[in-house]
Structure 1
Amino acid sequence: MTQSVKVRSGTVPPPTAPKRLSVPGGTLGSWFLPVVAAVIMFVVIFAVAPAASSYLGLSLLLSSLLPLVLACLAQMFVIAAGDVDLGIGSFVGLVNVTVAAILPTHTLPGILLLIGLVVAYALMGMLIAVRRLPSIIVTLGMSFVWLGLAILILPTPGGTVPEGIVSFVDWSPPLVPGTIVAIVVVTVVVALFLNRTRYGAVLRGSGSNPEGIRRAGWSVVRTKMALYGIAGLLGVLSGIVLSGQAASGDPNIATSYVLLSIAGVIVGGGSFRGGDISPVGTVAGALVIGLIATLLQFLDVPSSYQVGTQGLVLVLILVLRAGVTWWRRRVETGGLA
Structure 2
Amino acid sequence: MRRLFSRYRILLPVVSLALLLVATFYMQPRTMSYFGVNLLFNLAVPIALATVAQMCIMMVEDIDLSVGAFVSLTACVTATLLNDQPVLGVGVLACLVAAYAVMGAVIHRLELPAIVVTLGMSFVWGGLALFILPTPGGASPGWLRSMMTSTPPMVPMAVVASVVIATVAHLLVVRSGIGTVLRGVGGNARSVARAGWPVIRLKALAYGLAGLFGVLAGMALVGLTTSADANIALRYTLLSIAGVILGGGEFTGGKVSPVGAVIGALTLTLAASFLSFLRLSPDWQIGAQGGILIIVLMARLLFTRRNTRDG
| TM-score > 0.5 by shorter chain | yes
Contact 1:29 1:328 in 2 (8 A): no
User: 1: CA distance between counterparts of 2:283 and 2:203?
Assistant: 42
Report what 2:120 is aligned to.
Answer: 141
1:296 to partner: Cα distance: 1.6
Question: What are the equivalent positions in structure 2 for 1:168-179 lying under 5 Å apart?
Answer: 168-179=147-158
One-letter code aligned to 2:199: V
Aligned partner of 1:126 among 90, 105, 123: 105
User: 2: CA distance between counterparts of 1:303 and 1:87?
Assistant: 24
More helix by share: 2
Contact 2:247 2:263 in 1 (8 A): yes
1:29 to partner: Cα distance: 2.5
Report what 2:130 is aligned to.
Answer: 151
Aligned partner of 1:279 among 235, 258, 263: 258
One-letter code aligned to 2:44: L
1:21 to partner: Cα distance: 4.9
1:306 to partner: Cα distance: 3.0
Report what 1:7 is aligned to.
Answer: none
Aligned partner of 1:309 among 284, 288, 295: 288
Identity level (%): 45
- Deviation per CA, 1:65-116, whole angstroms, max 9, x where unpaired? 1111110110011001111101000100111110111122211111000011
User: 2: CA distance between counterparts of 1:302 and 1:249?
Assistant: 26
1:163 to partner: Cα distance: 1.1
Report what 1:232 is aligned to.
Answer: 211
Aligned partner of 1:242 among 210, 216, 221: 221
1:193 to partner: Cα distance: 2.2
Report what 2:59 is aligned to.
Answer: 80
- Deviation per CA, 1:122-177, whole angstroms, max 9, x where unpaired? 11100011111000111111111111111111100011111111111112111111
Structure 1's 118 and 299: CA in aligned 2 closer, same or farther, altered over 3 A? same
One-letter code aligned to 1:124: M
One-letter code aligned to 2:131: L
User: Is 1:194 the equivalent of 2:173?
Assistant: yes
User: Is 1:216 the equivalent of 2:195?
Assistant: yes
Report what 1:261 is aligned to.
Answer: 240
1:50 to partner: Cα distance: 1.7
1:19 to partner: Cα distance: 3.0
User: Is 1:20 the equivalent of 2:10?
Assistant: no
User: 2: CA distance between counterparts of 1:98 and 1:319?
Assistant: 40
User: 2: CA distance between counterparts of 1:247 and 1:41?
Assistant: 29
User: Is 1:116 the equivalent of 2:95?
Assistant: yes
The TM-score with structure 2 as length reference comes to 0.96
User: 2: CA distance between counterparts of 1:160 and 1:304?
Assistant: 30
Contact 1:66 1:183 in 2 (8 A): yes
User: Is 1:298 the equivalent of 2:277?
Assistant: yes
The TM-score with structure 1 as length reference comes to 0.89
Report what 2:12 is aligned to.
Answer: 33
Report what 1:320 is aligned to.
Answer: 299
Report what 1:9 is aligned to.
Answer: none
SS of 2:41's equivalent? helix
One-letter code aligned to 1:294: S
One-letter code aligned to 2:65: L
Higher Cα Rg: structure 1 or 2?
1
Report what 2:50 is aligned to.
Answer: 71
Runs of 4+ off more than 6 Å:
none
1:299 to partner: Cα distance: 2.6
User: 1: CA distance between counterparts of 2:196 and 2:7?
Assistant: 31
1:285 to partner: Cα distance: 1.3
SS of 2:147's equivalent? helix
Report what 2:74 is aligned to.
Answer: 95
One-letter code aligned to 1:36: V
Contact 1:203 1:223 in 2 (8 A): yes
Contact 2:165 2:262 in 1 (8 A): no
SS of 1:104's equivalent? helix
User: 1: CA distance between counterparts of 2:83 and 2:290?
Assistant: 40
One-letter code aligned to 2:34: Y
Contact 1:75 1:88 in 2 (8 A): yes
Structure 2 residue runs of 5 or longer lacking an equivalent are none
Contact 1:169 1:244 in 2 (8 A): yes
1:192 to partner: Cα distance: 2.2
